[in-house]
Amino acid sequence: MKPFKPETYTDFTKPANRKIMEKTLAKIESEFGKEYSIVIGGERIKLDNKFHSYNPSKKGEVIATFQKADEKTAEKAMEVALKTFESWRYTPAKKRAQYLFRMAEIMRKRRYELSACMVFEVGKNWLEADADVAEAIDFCDYYGHEALRYDHGPKLIQYPGERDTQTYIPLGVGLVIPPWNFPLAILTGMTTAAFVSGNTVILKPSSDSPFIAAKFMEIVEQAQVPVGVVNFMPGPGALAGDYLVRHPKTRFIAFTGSKSVGLRIVELAGKTQPGQIWIKRVVAEMGGKDAIVVDSEADIDSAVNGVRASAFGYQGQKCSACSRLILDDKIYDKFMAKFIPTVEAIKVGPVKNFDNYMGPVINESAYKSMLEYIDIGKKEGQLMCGGEPAEGDGWFIRPTVIGDVDAKARIFQEEIFGPILAVARARDFNHAIELANDTEYGLTGAVYSKNPKKIEKAKREFFVGNLYTNRKCTGALVGVHPFGGFNMSGTDSKAGGPDYLLLFTQAKAVAEYIVKETRKKVVEKPTKIKKAKHGKAKQHKKRS
C-alpha cells in the first residue's frame, strides 16, 4: 500500500482544466431543483416538511430540496444505527479501511463535480472548492491508513506468563454535526474517522450545505459501505439534532461549528438521561478570532500577501481566517500603504466566474450581521476600505479593513466570520503577543518576523492550537498540520493528526494468562518456555 501523501491541487491556469470546470458547472446548474431523501439503513425517506438549499450568489435561487428530519426520523436513525453497530463493530479494520480508500478514489473521479457543487451552494471560488475536495480525499486516505495503524495497538511490556495487549475498540452510535464552511472536507473527516473506527453514524449536515452532503452520501453508497453504517439525516439542528444530542443511546457527538451551538451541545450532552450507561463523549471544534502579528523586522511584502489570503480567502469564512491584524507601530503605515490597494483590487462577484476571487457570504442572516458589525467597526476604528455591500444579486460584501482599533473593541474580540479585518497597533513585539493572546479563542495564529528570537518567543507564548510563522494562518494540510484550537475554540481534537482516531475509540487492555496446555504446544520455542516458567513462579509469588 502506498504511504499517505496529500493531494495536489488542480491547476486552473491550464485551459483544459478550465474547460472541464466550466462544463461541469453548467451541468450542475442544469440539474438544480432535484429533491433528495433522508437515507436511513439504505431506505430512502421523504417527509411532508421540506427545506431548500439556496445559491448565495443569486438571491432566492433554489439548488435542491431536502426533507426536514424530525424526532421520529431521528429515533428511526438511532434504531438502525444501533442495530448496524452490532455487526459493524466486529468488521476487521482492514475491511473498514478499504471503504475509505474506495471513497477517496471515487472522490478523485468526481472531483470537478464536487467542486462545482460547492461553488454554487456555499460560494467557494474554484481554487477554494478544489482544495476542499482535496482535503476530503486526504481525510479518507489518511484515516484509512490510521485505522490500520491503530489496529496493531501499542506495544506493551509483557508480564511473564501472560500475553498483554491493548486494542482500540469502537464506542457505539455517534452523531456527526459538521458546519457549512468546509461542507465536504470537514463533513468527510468527521464522518469517516467515526465509522472507520467501527462506530455507526447519524450524519446531520448543516442546513446551508445539504446538497454537497447528499453528494457525500452518494459516494458512501457508491463505495458500498454497508447500509446503516452512515445514516443521512438533514434537517434543523434544533429539532432532530437536539433530540439526538439528548438521546441516552448516543455514545458520542462530533461537532464542528459556532461557540454558542458547541457549548449548548456540551451542556446538553453532559446531562445524564434515564437509561444512559456512559458518559457521552463530545468532540467540539468551535470558533476563532485568529490573529496575525507583523513585527517591525518582517518581510512586509510577504506579510501583505499572507494577511490578504488569510483574511479574505473564502470571504473570511474560515475558522482559521485572520480577523485580527496586529502591526508593530513602526511599520504600521508602511504595511497599510502596501496592503490596502491589494485589498481594494479584490474582485467580488459570483464565483461561477473564475475571475472573481471573493464570492458571496453564506446567507442573508450572515450578510445582515456582517453589515451590522461594519457599522460597529466604523465607530470603533477607522474604515480603511470596503465597508459596504458589493454589487450583484447575491450576498456580496466588499472586503473591509478597519484600522486603529482598540484591543477591547467588539470587532477585535467577537467572531464575525466574514471579510472584515480589524487592525491594532502594538508598541513592540512583546505587546503584539500580549494582544494576540487577549481573546477567549485560541485556534490559529501567525507571526511574520525575520528575528529568530522573536519567532522562538512566539512558539513558546502565542497560545493557539495552530501557529504558523512567516506564512498565512489558513490552509492546514491533513497529516501535516493536525488541526484544532485551545480555549473557546474547542476541544483541540487535532483533526487530520495521529491522535484523532483515539477520540472515536476506547482502549481495551487484555491480560491473557497462558495456561499450561498452551505452553506445552509451544515446546519448540525453548526460550519462551523458559521465560514463561520463570514468570509463573514470579507471578504466584506476587499474587499470594
Residues with catalytic roles: 285, 319
- Annotate each residue in 333-372 with x if it binds ligand NAD (CB under 6 A) or - if it does not, as one string: ----------------------------------------
Residues 252, 268: contact at Cβ < 8 Å?
A: no
Which residues lie closer than 8 Å to 367 by C-beta, 6 or more apart?
A: 360, 361, 389, 395, 397
Q: Find the binder of ligand NAD among 6, 153, 160, 237 (CB under 6 A).
A: 237
Select the span of 154-162, 164-172, 179-187, 189-197 touching ligand NAD (CB under 6 A). 179-187
- Rule CB under 6 A: which of 68-127 touch ligand NAD? none
Residues 367, 388: contact at Cβ < 8 Å?
A: no
Q: Is 181 in the site for ligand NAD (CB under 6 A)?
A: yes
Considering the complex, state which of residue 181 and residue 188 has its C-beta at the smaller distance from ligand NAD: 181
DSSP letter at 391? S
Considering the complex, state which of residue 178 and residue 377 has its C-beta at the smaller distance from ligand NAD: 178
Give the CA radius of gyration of the chain: 26
Helix (H) or strand (E) holding 255: strand 252-256
DSSP letter at 42? T
User: CA distances (Å), 32 to each of 210, 211, 363, in order?
Assistant: 13, 10, 18
Half-sphere exposure of 266 (CA within 13 A, CB side): 15
The distance of closest approach from Cβ of residue 493 to ligand NAD in the complex, given in angstroms and rounded to an integer, is 8
The C-alpha cell at 124 is 467557494
In this structure, how many other beta carbons lie within 10 angstroms of the beta carbon of residue 110? 18
Give the whole-angstrom CA distance, residue 466 versus residue 473.
8
Give the whole-angstrom CA distance, residue 197 versus residue 178.
18
Which residues lie closer than 8 Å to 221 by C-beta, 6 or more apart?
A: 39, 42
Considering the complex, state which of residue 21 and residue 366 has its C-beta at the smaller distance from ligand NAD: 366
Considering the complex, state which of residue 115 and residue 207 has its C-beta at the smaller distance from ligand NAD: 207
Q: Is 299 in the site for ligand NAD (CB under 6 A)?
A: no
What is the signed CA dihedral for 184, 53, 41, 90, rounded to 10 degrees? 20
DSSP letter at 24? H
The distance of closest approach from Cβ of residue 126 to ligand NAD in the complex, given in angstroms and rounded to an integer, is 20
Q: Find the binder of ligand NAD among 100, 136, 176, 286 (CB under 6 A).
A: 286
Q: Find the binder of ligand NAD among 67, 256, 323, 363 (CB under 6 A).
A: 256
Select the span of 128-136, 146-154, 233-241, 447-455 touching ligand NAD (CB under 6 A). 233-241
Select the span of 241-249, 432-440, 512-520, 527-535 touching ligand NAD (CB under 6 A). 241-249
Select the span of 37-45, 258-266, 304-312, 446-454 touching ligand NAD (CB under 6 A). 258-266
Q: Find the binder of ligand NAD among 123, 198, 288, 497 (CB under 6 A).
A: 288
What is the signed CA dihedral for 234, 245, 497, 481, rounded to 10 degrees? 70
- Annotate each residue in 195-214 with x if it binds ligand NAD (CB under 6 A) or - if it does not, as one string: ----------xxx-------
The distance of closest approach from Cβ of residue 66 to ligand NAD in the complex, given in angstroms and rounded to an integer, is 12
Give the whole-angstrom CA distance, residue 256 versus residue 270.
17
Q: Is 241 in the site for ligand NAD (CB under 6 A)?
A: yes
Give the whole-angstrom CA distance, residue 9 versus residue 25.
18
> DSSP labels for 427-449?
SSHHHHHHHHH-SS--SEEEEE-
Q: Find the binder of ligand NAD among 242, 299, 404, 434 (CB under 6 A).
A: 242
Give the whole-angstrom CA distance, residue 97 versus residue 145.
7
Q: Cell 477585535, residue?
A: 412
The distance of closest approach from Cβ of residue 515 to ligand NAD in the complex, given in angstroms and rounded to an integer, is 50
Considering the complex, state which of residue 88 and residue 180 has its C-beta at the smaller distance from ligand NAD: 180
- Rule CB under 6 A: which of 415-474 touch ligand NAD? 415, 417, 443
Q: Which residues face 424 on adjacent strands?
A: 326
Q: Which residue is nearest to ligand NAD (CB)?
A: 237
Total site size for ligand NAD, rule CB under 6 A: 32
- Rule CB under 6 A: which of 470-509 touch ligand NAD? 485, 489-490
The dihedral through the CA atoms of 186, 187, 189, 193 has a sign that is positive
Select the span of 92-100, 178-186, 389-397, 400-408 touching ligand NAD (CB under 6 A). 178-186
Considering the complex, state which of residue 186 and residue 402 has its C-beta at the smaller distance from ligand NAD: 186
Coarse DSSP helix, strand, coil percentages of the chain, rounded to the nearest 5 percent: 45, 20, 35
The C-alpha cell at 471 is 506564512
Give the whole-angstrom CA distance, residue 466 versus residue 444.
5
Tell me, letter by letter, the H, E, C secondary structure of 439-505. Answer: CCCCCEEEEECCCHHHHHHHHHHCCCCEEEECCCCCCCCCCCCCECCCHHHECCCCECCCCHHHHHE
Q: Find the binder of ligand NAD among 226, 257, 403, 497 (CB under 6 A).
A: 257
Select the span of 40-48, 52-60, 286-294, 376-384 touching ligand NAD (CB under 6 A). 286-294
Considering the complex, state which of residue 256 and residue 356 has its C-beta at the smaller distance from ligand NAD: 256
Q: Is 24 in the site for ligand NAD (CB under 6 A)?
A: no
Select the span of 223-231, 240-248, 303-311, 395-403 touching ligand NAD (CB under 6 A). 240-248
DSSP letter at 503? G
Q: Find the binder of ligand NAD among 177, 294, 304, 351 (CB under 6 A).
A: 177
Question: Which residues here bind ligand NAD, judged by CB under 6 A?
Answer: 177-182, 186, 205-207, 237-238, 241-242, 245, 256-258, 261, 264-265, 285-288, 319, 415, 417, 443, 485, 489-490
